[in-house]
Amino acid sequence: METVPEYFGKLVFDDRVMKANLSANIYSSLKKTIDEGAKLDINVANAVAEAMKNWAVSNGATHFTHWFQPLTGITAEKHDSFITPSPDGGVIMEFSGKELIRGEPDASSFPSGGLRATFEARGYTAWDPTSYAFIKDKTLCVPTAFCSYGGEALDKKTPLLRSMQALNKQALRILKLFGNDTVKYVNAMVGPEQEYFLIDKKMYQKRRDLRFTGRTLFGAKPPKGQEMDDHYFGVIKPRVAAFMQELNDELWKLGILAKTEHNEVAPSQHELAPIYNMVNVSTDHNQLTMEIMQKVASRHGLVCLLHEKPFAGVNGSGKHNNWSISTDTGLNLLSPGETPYENAQFLLFLCAVIKAVDDYQDLLRMSVATAGNDHRLGANEAPPAVVSIFLGDELTAILSAIESNTTYSGTQKTVIKLGVDVLPRFNRDTTDRNRTSPFAFTGNKFEFRMVGSSNSIACANIMLNTAVAESLKIYADRLEQAEDFETALHEMIRKTIRDHKRIIFNGNGYDDHWIKEAENRGLSNYRTTPDCIPHLLDRKNVEMLTSHKVFSLAELHSRHDIMLENYCKTVVIEANTMVDIARTEILPAIQAYAVDTANAAAAKKELNEMIPCGYEMSLVKKLSVLISRIDAALYELEDALIALGNAKDIAEESILIRDTVIAKMSELRLACDEAETVTAKKYWPLPSYGELLFGVS
């Protein structure tokens, strides 16, 4: 039996495979392209393609695909076989450098936000050599970017690579000012923690709301939820453990650094966390992780739910985006060291992040905006919709000392004593892990906790990378012209602290007092997707994103429209599903129970008029009232959906949905959930919350 080190990455055309299958010259040239962005020679591409094909075929692959990430938020692939006819009537297996570096998948039906008319079918995929090719389901998958015939980005990877390039360029300028000329490139590093639910597949099949929308649109609160916190970090159930074991095996074969797994707070909720990797690789890996989770779950008779809020009344699922900046020499630029108050380079990069988050808090909020995440952000389980930074006491004290030009005396490490002789003593970290902060410093990285569990992490990291690149550019422009670097550096750090300290908050982000204080500080609070998406096109945001060549103006307009369209389509599908289920399943069930209860009362009276029927008649009356409420709520919701046709554009439609449709959906749900609590179990057509949340043994 193979050990993990023996089979880890066995389905990946990684550096080990390239070294073994490419000549020294070809390997060296390819590495220069990967590491330094050097232009790829076609002869190198041909040699790589041949080696890649031979390796893939030897591992059972018969097809190849350009694997890309369109603006749907999921991945896409079109498979072509390696076969080419030979003169003798047989076939040979071929794969050229041209096929490797460029594909033409058409893919004209993907959202483009007006960048591409449906009749303009030509679209291109371009190989991303910085992300290793891999084998999935006997198909060689080549990670690629996706663009239109006119060169506009139609995917999430292209802007991500551009943002990495922008961050690298500006970070190198800063490092050079500190006398560091040996660093060749700087990368954003990310480790995304993935939360998810597992439920029984048979129950899932009985819930059309789960099948169509990924979340429950109805469901009364069960007698027990997460009140006891007994699921959190609890013993993993055998069926779930078997799923996790197979999931790890599948991920490790693909070179995905799955590290930590545990039960989360809500019943049936779990988490998987990987080790850090380059942000574009981590983005690819996270997309693969979500896909494989769902495939492996199905093989175990389970369904993996990745919606941000699949169940009302219990915690939803996020995806904590742990972000840092590292050099090719292995230096983490956000590592404070033992004496952060003396580490000017660290303090400048820290200030760059603080400035970026404050200046572009609207972009960070917008980057995680979806209909699903609107159910999660702002609840007492996830960060509020207000963006703020947690730094912890020590770093906050250091910045305060710099701002006031006073001496920072430092703090001694606090030794934690547990009061039992056999237990070790250990130093307390300089920062806590504030779980209520949207953007928390956790030792040597920032944890952006607003990303939704089903979201691609590309969007958040595009905005984060570019905003920090903008801060570094402003710093570099000024410091490169400074007569006295040390003085200018000190003043630059002081100015950033003074101008942007409003974004720093170390308290409880769930407290209502903080929301009021944030408003007084001038921080934005965009509670819903329609609130924040329009700010993508604010002048300051357009100027920043276009100046770093991360997006063109046309690409920004397209994304504005696509995000609002996705929001509208998602909620409309949910509303139509509610109408369908309420009318064809819930109402008939309540009606049948009411009729049977009334018949039972009549039968009792017929037997003996002295037998009391108060319970039955009271229940029938209550059920009749609920039937009327549900029926009225149904018609009101349908009217609200019809009214959407009067909207003059997608922005107005999104506002109507936010203000009217969602309110009508809530009214319908409230009536149906109340009916569930008084309807006999054998009549109710949907598996209950209790069955769903506690149905996996």
Flag the least confident range among 259-268, 374-383, 567-576, 674-683.
374-383
pLDDT at 414: 57
Q: Domain 163-329+358-409+430-551 class?
A: alpha beta
Residue 290 has what DSSP assignment? H
What is the per-residue pLDDT for 350?
95
CA dist 503 and 50 (Å) reads 53
H or E element, residue 440: strand 439-441
Distance CA 304, CA 515 (A): 34
CATH topology of domain 567-693: Four Helix Bundle (Hemerythrin (Met), subunit A) (1.20.120)
More reliable by pLDDT, 275 or 231: 275
CATH topology of domain 4-154: Ubiquitin-like (UB roll) (3.10.20)
Q: Which residue has the higher pLDDT, 412 or 669?
A: 669
The answer to whether 221 and 676 are in contact (CB under 8 A) is: no
Q: What is the pLDDT of residues 327-379, one digit of tens each?
A: 999 999 999 887 776 789 999 999 999 999 999 999 999 999 999 999 998 76
What's the pLDDT at 419?
A: 57
CB 202 within 8 A of CB 675: no
Residue with tokens 């040597």: 444
SS3 122: coil
Q: Above 70 in pLDDT, residue 276?
A: yes
% of residues, the chain, pLDDT over 90: 70
Question: What dihedral angle (degrees, nearest 10) is formed by the CA atoms of 367, 369, 372, 377?
Answer: 100
CATH 3.30.590.10 domain locations along the chain: 163-329+358-409+430-551
> Would the pTM count as exceeding 0.85?
yes
Query: What's the pLDDT at 93?
Result: 67
Average pLDDT over residues 546-574: 96
Tens-digit pLDDT profile for residues 571-620: 999 999 999 999 999 999 999 999 999 998 788 776 666 666 778 889 99
* 9: CB partners within 8 A, 6+ apart: 16, 252, 253, 254, 255
Q: Which amino acid is at 350?
A: L
pLDDT bucket at 510, cuts 50 / 70 / 90 = confident
What one-letter code names the amino acid at 31? K
pLDDT at 568 over 70: yes
| For residues 478-489, average pLDDT | 93
**What pLDDT, on a 0 to 100 scale, did the predictor assign at position 446?**
94
Q: Which residues face 427 on adjacent strands?
A: 415
Residue with tokens 């998987």: 272
**From the CB of residue 378, how many other CB atoms can be counted at a distance below 10 Å?**
18
| Cβ count within 10 A of residue 202 | 12
> 150 pLDDT band (50/70/90 cuts)?
confident
For the chain, the helix, strand and coil percentages under 3-state DSSP, each to the nearest 5: 50, 15, 35
Between CA 514 and CA 501 the distance in angstroms is 15
d(CA 635, CA 614): 32
**Residue 30 CA from chain centroid, whole number:** 31
Q: Where in the chain is the domain with CATH 3.10.20.70?
A: 4-154
CA 253: distance to chain centroid?
23
Give the separation between CA 504 and CA 498, rounded to whole angstroms. 11
* Each residue's pLDDT tens digit, 370-386: 999 999 987 667 788 99
Tell me: pLDDT of 426 over 60: no
Note the pLDDT of residue 91: 56
Predicted pLDDT of residue 74: 85
Mean pLDDT for the stretch of residues 285-310: 97
pLDDT confidence tier of residue 84, bands split at 50, 70 and 90: confident
For the chain, how many residues are written? 697
Q: What is the pLDDT averaged over residues 666-677?
A: 97
Residue ranges of the alpha helices (H) in 427-552? 458-479, 485-500, 512-521, 529-532, 539-547
Per-residue pLDDT, 274: 95
Cross-strand pairs, 560: none
State the greatest distance between any 2 C-alpha atoms of the chain, in Å, as a whole number.
Answer: 105
**Residue ranges matching CATH 1.20.120.1560 in the chain:** 567-693
Give the pLDDT confidence score for residue 2 in this predicted structure.
Answer: 86
- Give the pLDDT mean for 465-478: 98
User: Which of 479-488, 544-553, 582-591 is least confident?
Assistant: 479-488
pLDDT in tens, 156-174: 999 999 999 999 999 999 9
pLDDT at residue number 430: 56
Mean pLDDT of 272-287: 95
Chain segment 93-132, per-residue pLDDT in tens = 678 888 888 876 665 666 666 655 555 556 788 889 889 9
pLDDT at 152: 87
Least confidently predicted of 150-154, 220-224, 472-476, 560-564: 150-154
> How many angstroms separate the CA atoms of 426 and 442, rounded?
18
Decide: 587 and 676 in contact? Cβ < 8 Å.
no
What confidence score (pLDDT) does residue 234 get? 82
For position 96, what pLDDT does the model report?
81
End-to-end, the C-alpha distance of the chain in Å comes to 29
CA–CA distance, 6 with 18 (Å, rounded to integer): 17
Beta pairing class for 79-81 and 91-93: unpaired
CA dist 438 and 386 (Å) reads: 8
At 627, the pLDDT band (50, 70, 90 cuts) reads: very high
Following DSSP, what letter does each residue of 200-246 receive, concatenated?
EHHHHHT-HHHHHHSS-S--PPPS-SSTT--STT-PPPHHHHHHHHH
SS (H, E, C) 136-185: ECCEEEEEEEEEECCCCECECHHHHHHHHHHHHHHHHHHHHHCCCCCCCC
> What is the band of 436 on the pLDDT scale with cuts at 50, 70, 90?
confident
Please check whether residue 404 is in contact with residue 440, taking contact to mean a CB–CB distance below 8 angstroms: no
Alpha helices in 582-661 (DSSP H): 587-607, 614-643, 650-656
- Amino acid 428: pLDDT: 54
CA nearest to 527, candidates 377, 661, 657, 656: 377
- What rounded mean pLDDT belongs to the chain? 89
- β-bridge pairing 123-127 and 134-136: unpaired
Residue 293's alpha-carbon distances to 60, 149, 256, 305, 307, in angstroms, are 23, 34, 13, 9, 13
The pLDDT of residue 338 is 77
DSSP 308-368: S-SSTTS---BEEEEEEEEETTS-BTT---S-GGG-HHHHHHHHHHHHHHHHTHHHHHHHT
How far is the C-alpha of 660 from the C-alpha of 656, rounded, in Å?
6
Condensed to tens digits (0 to 9), the pLDDT of residues 177-211 reads 999 989 999 999 999 999 999 999 999 999 999 99
Q: Three-state SS for 503?
A: helix
The mean-pLDDT minimum among 39-48, 81-90, 156-165, 284-293 falls in: 81-90
